[in-house]
Chain A
Amino acid sequence: MNQWLWLIPGTPLLGSLVIALLGGLLRREHIAVLACLAAAAAFLVVLLAWLAGAASQPLQQTLYTWVAVGDWRPMFGFMLDRLALVMVSIVSGVGLLVHLYSVSFMAEETDQRRYYFFLNLFLAGMLLLVLADNLLLLYLGWELVGLCSYALIGFWYRDPVCSNAGRKAFIVTRIGDTALALGIFLLFSQFHELSLSALLTDAAAQWEKGSALATVATLLILGGAVGKSAQLPLQVWLPDAMAGPSPVSALMHAATMVTAGVYLIARTHPLFELAPQTQWLVAAIGALTIVYGASAALAQIDFKKVLAYSTISQIGYMFLALGCGAYALALFHLTTHAFFKALLFLSAGAVIQASRDEHDINKLGKIGHHPPLARWTFLAGAASLAGVPVVTAGFYSKDAILATAWSAPAGPLLWTFAAFGALLTAIYIFRVYLIVFHGAAPQTSTLSLPYPMSVPLLILALLSIISGFIELPEGWPGPHLWSPWFEEELGLATFPSLTITYMLQLIAALLPFIGMGLACVLIRRERANQPLPLANFLRCGWNFDAFYQATLARPYYALARGLRGIVETLLIEGALTRITCGLLAFATFCRKGVEYNVLEVSISRLVATLRFAYTLLGTTQNGVLSRYALVISTGAVFFLGYWLW
């Protein structure tokens, strides 16, 4: 199995290459099928890896030496340990479902070749990122993902909103990417090694706990993760990223893009454990982001933006778990979140497409006529997101994170944030559900979805209900498969004492129901035209955009304008104009000098000389025979005289 690892990112890459290079020869439907096959092949290889025992024994493959600089030889190598295995399974599985969904969702689209090229490349980039066994290769996948997200968010690039959203996503994540690159440079300068396993061992051996270098390095890596995973303060790109097609949003939010940051921190967790301050910062960022995302989602009227803020908030839970040292739980939530968020996006996409691209939830509610399947699957996803106890996967993963947050430093504070966020989550998701699906219009639609759309929805709905059962909460009888399985790699999460845990679980179980009730109240107030206080503030995402605009963009523009003014007046006006004038004058002078003095005079002199010589010679050619004879005899006389001498 080891030598087949490259197929996991390789097949989507191959698919994208074929689509890009030979797509012109294929029909649109065939391109879609090809892309799906590539994703399916990747998923199949992952399944084979499971069967081959990757779950117990990490797989490794080194393809070739990527670069050879001196004694430093980063390899093009893959490593499939349990963390990577879970990630790869989620990415390829959800990716496959999204590809399938796209087949009918994007059927009307004319530019399928570009879409599937980037979709496959997106998948390949994420798989590469996850499988990479060194930071350099990881960074390659990281950038590939960023590029593809830019291209896919701005897929409908003729719409300036979409292309701007793509650009915004690219630029904002670039800040994080730069931080990550600096972090990688720092690590390399310290250890002369980028291979993850060697690097982490070296770091644990050489750095003391809490050392400044470790803090800086982890802060830089955190910067990268924050950018990619849309946490505070770099979260502003994600809500706008809704401009892309719904399957792209589903893929990005569930599987490929925003989870990269979580994966990165989980992957480099030994470093974070060396820097407790940074780790606590991770938890704090997570807790803040939970509340931020959830509160902003409360007031949204765009269907997909609700889900986008919800993603920000849910990734916050993962960060919280990471910050509390519960890496396995973060991954657990990542998994369930991937299922239910993909489900939510795909069903929302189905609803939006059925209503002719209407995004406003109020209008969607008035239209009615939503596909029933979309409605029920959305409900499943919403329940899972809200964490409806016992029956949904979201409850198990979120509850575990809430419980473990209590035992972290400043735990009760973090827990309060997280629990408040959970409450808000329940409110906003049920508000949206109720507005859209229980609006004014009667739900009499019998619209059925085509199989490529309905099958992924059903699978995801199923998964978002049952996937939680592999890890029941602490203290409950039943299977505890997830955390022990990861113990070897990621360690165990710490939980407070059992009594507190039960208390917390009870509160967490109650929160969704409270939230549902509050959502009903909220809707009633909204229908009575009594919107939430601060609704506009929340709707704009706490005015982060305006804030950044005022604090960063405007001063930057002003600086640029000022510099441009300075440069224009000083350099261009002053220097360049003078230089130009001088050069012009010089050129004119040269031209005149050359033309009149050199060319004119010299040529006329030359002509005059030639003419003079010509006339001189011409006089000898006067046709008088006697003169010729005279000249000949004179010459003869002189010749003879010379001879005589």
Chain B
Amino acid sequence: MYEFIFYCSSVVAVVAAGAILVVRQPVHAVLYLIVSLLALALLFFLLGAPLLAAFQVMLYAGAIMVLFLFMMMVMNLRIERNRSLRNRSLLRPASWGGIALLALLLWLILLLLFSRSSFNEIDSITVIGPTAVGNALFGPYLMMVEAAAILLLAALVAALYLSQRGKR
């Protein structure tokens, strides 16, 4: 049962990601992305990281996706206008065959890389809870938290500045 859920959700995540490739509407793509992210959140949970699962839902599906949708809303009408041009290249295999091959190659290489190292199979899931993560974050990785804070601040400033320019 546990494995079944894991594989099902991973299939969902992969299929949703693959769907992004082929959809035409950006809104659809964003929706597929949300599906993928939620499936991934479930995977995180199943792997024993409940905090990450919660963050995945909140940050990605909540915050980031809202940004995407908001942007879509601003640009939507004009994109509709150019629909005839869009994705025409995808209809021809020659235009995406090389890239698909490259992607496949990369996946195989990654698989090989991962399989080269032998892992001990573990029987049970060790849940690493928020306490442990919190201890790690504010213990040895405190400096990284500070760096993240500064990064966010910089992003905030940049976003404000750029939106300022945009208004002008």
Q: Which stretch from B41-49, B65-73, B102-110, B148-156 is at the chain A interface?
A: B102-110
A637 touching B99 by the CB < 8 A rule?
no
Output the least CB separation between B164 and chain A (Å): 25
Q: Does B112 contact A (CB under 8 A)?
A: yes
User: Chain B residue with minimal CB distance to A639?
Assistant: B109
Which residues in window 80-123 of B have CB below 8 A to A? Answer: 99, 102, 105-106, 109-110, 112-113, 116
Nearest 7 A/B pairs, CB to CB:
A640-B109, A637-B106, A641-B109, A644-B112, A637-B105, A644-B109, A644-B113
Bound-complex Cα distance A42 to B112 (A)? 119
A633 is an interface residue with CB less than 8 A from chain B: yes
Q: State whether the Cβ of A201 lies closer than 8 Å to any Cβ in chain B.
A: no
Q: Name B116's closest neighbour in chain A (CB-CB).
A: A644
Q: Are B99 and A630 touching (Cβ within 8 A)? A: yes
Q: Is the CB of A633 within 8 A of B106?
A: yes
Nearest to A641 among chain B residues (CB) is: B109
Chain B residue contacts of A640, Cβ below 8 A = 106, 109-110, 113
A-side contacts of B106, CB under 8 Å: 633, 636-637, 640
Is there contact, CB below 8 Å, between A637 and B113? no
Task: Tell me the complex Cα distance, A644–B107, Å.
Answer: 13
Query: Taking the nearest CB of chain A, how far is it from the CB of B29, in angstroms?
Result: 16
Q: What secondary structure prevails in chain B residues at the interface with A? A: helix
A588 in contact (CB, < 8 A): no
Residues of B with C-beta under 8 A to A543: none
Interface presence of A448 (CB below 8 A): no
- Enumerate chain B residues within 8 angstroms of A641, measured Cβ to Cβ: 105, 109
On whether the beta carbons of A637 and B112 are closer than 8 Å, the reply is no
The complex places the Cα of A637 from the Cα of B101 at a distance, in Å, of 11
**Please, which residues of chain A bring their CB within 8 A of the CB of B112?**
644
In angstroms, Cα B28 to Cα A291, docked, is: 145
Which residue of chain B has the shortest Cβ distance to A637 in the bound complex? B106
A620 at the interface (CB under 8 A from B): no
Other CB < 8 Å A-B pairs besides A641-B105, A644-B113, 16 of them? A630-B99, A630-B102, A633-B102, A633-B106, A636-B106, A637-B102, A637-B105, A637-B106, A637-B109, A640-B106, A640-B109, A640-B110, A640-B113, A643-B113, A644-B112, A644-B116
Q: With CB as the reference atom, state the residue of chain B lying closest to A630.
A: B99
On whether the beta carbons of A634 and B102 are closer than 8 Å, the reply is yes
Interface size class of A (residues with CB under 8 A): under 10
- Bound Cα distance from A438 to B102, whole angstroms: 138
- Note all chain A residues with C-beta closer than 8 A to B105: 637, 641
A634 contacts across to B, CB distance below 8 A: 102
Report which residue of B99, B109, B112, B113 has the largest number of chain A beta carbons within 10 angstroms of its beta carbon.
B109
Query: Which residues on the B side are within 8 Å of A644 (C-beta)?
Result: 109, 112-113, 116
In the assembled complex, how far is the CB of residue B33 from the closest CB belonging to chain A, in whole angstroms? Answer: 18
Contacts of B116 in A (CB 8 A): 644
A586 to B157: give the CA distance in the assembly, Å: 75
Per-residue contact bits, chain B 107-145, to A (CB 8 Å; 1 contact, 0 not): 001101100100000000000000000000000000000
21 contacts between A and B (CB under 8 A): A630-B99, A630-B102, A633-B102, A633-B106, A634-B102, A636-B106, A637-B102, A637-B105, A637-B106, A637-B109, A640-B106, A640-B109, A640-B110, A640-B113, A641-B105, A641-B109, A643-B113, A644-B109, A644-B112, A644-B113, A644-B116
Q: How far is the CB of A489 from chain B (nearest CB, A)?
A: 120
CA distance A636 to B109 in the complex (A): 11
Q: How far is the CB of B22 from chain A (nearest CB, A)?
A: 17
Complex: chain A residue closest to B106, CB-CB: A637
Bound Cα distance A637, B108 (Å): 10
Nearest A residue to B109, CB-CB: A640
A203: min CB distance to chain B, Å: 114
Bound complex: CA of A328 vs CA of B99, how far in Å?
130
Considering only residues 366-380 of chain A, those with a C-beta below 8 Å from chain B are none
Task: For chain A, residues 606 to 631, give those with C-beta under 8 angstroms from any C-beta of chain B.
Answer: 630
Query: Across the interface, which residues of B come within 8 angstroms of A630, CB to CB?
Result: 99, 102
Bound-state Cα–Cα, A643 to B109, Å: 10
**How far is the CB of B14 from the nearest CB of chain A, in Å?**
19
A644, B113: Cα distance in complex, Å: 7
**B113 CB to nearest A CB, Å:** 6
Query: Which B residues are CB-close (under 8 A) to A633?
Result: 102, 106
- The answer for the CA separation of A490 and B93 in the assembled complex, in Å, is 135
Complex interface: chain B residues within 8 A of A636 (CB): 106
Complex: A643 Cα to B112 Cα, angstroms = 11
- In the complex, which residues of chain A have a beta carbon less than 8 angstroms from the beta carbon of B110? 640
Cα of A617 to Cα of B38 in the assembled complex, Å: 44
Q: Which residue of A lies closest to B103 (CB)?
A: A633
Cα–Cα distance between A421 and B18 once the two chains are bound (Å): 145
Q: Which residues of B contact A637 (CB under 8 A)?
A: 102, 105-106, 109
A641 to B111 alpha-carbon distance, docked (Å): 11
How long is the Cα–Cα vector from A644 to B116 in the complex, in angstroms?
9
Query: B113 contacts which chain A residues (CB < 8 A)?
Result: 640, 643-644
Q: Complex: how many Å from CA A637 to CA B113?
A: 12
- A634 vs B106: C-alpha distance when bound (angstroms): 9
Question: Distance (Å) between the CB of B136 and the closest chain A CB?
Answer: 29
- In Å, the complex CA distance between A640 and B116 comes to 13
How far in angstroms is the closest Cβ of chain B from A200? 114
Q: How far is the CA of A641 from the CA of B102 in the complex (A)?
A: 12
CB nearest to A634 among chain B residues: B102
Distance, CA A637 to CA B110, complexed state (A): 9
CA distance A641 to B109 in the complex (A): 7
> B99 contacts which chain A residues (CB < 8 A)?
630
Give A134-180 interface residues, CB cut-off 8 Å to B: none
Shortest Cβ gap from B100 to chain A (Å): 12
Assembled-state Cα–Cα distance A643/B105 (Å): 14
Give min CB distance, A297 to chain B, whole Å: 122
Q: CA separation between A630 and B106, bound complex, in Å? A: 12
Cβ distance A62 to chain B, nearest Cβ, rounded Å: 101
Q: In the complex, how many angstroms separate the beta carbon of A627 from the nearest chain B beta carbon?
A: 11
**In whole angstroms, how far apart are the Cα atoms of A634 and B102 in the complex?**
7
A643: min CB distance to chain B, Å: 8
Closest residue on chain B to residue A626 by CB atoms: B99
Least CB distance from A625 to B in Å reads 14
Question: How distant is the Cα of A634 from the Cα of B105 in the complex, in angstroms?
Answer: 10
Least CB distance from B76 to A in Å reads 22
Write the nearest CB–CB distance from A642 to chain B, whole angstroms.
10
A165 → B minimal CB distance (Å) = 104
B110 to chain A, nearest CB (A): 8
Please name the residue on chain A nearest to B113 by beta carbon.
A644
- Who on chain A is nearest to B105 by CB? A637
State in angstroms the CA–CA spacing of A536 and B31 once bound together: 142
- CA A641 to CA B104, docked complex, whole Å: 13
By beta carbon, the residue of chain B nearest A636 is B106
- Shortest CB-to-CB span from B84 to chain A, Å, is 20
Give min CB distance, B115 to chain A, whole Å. 11
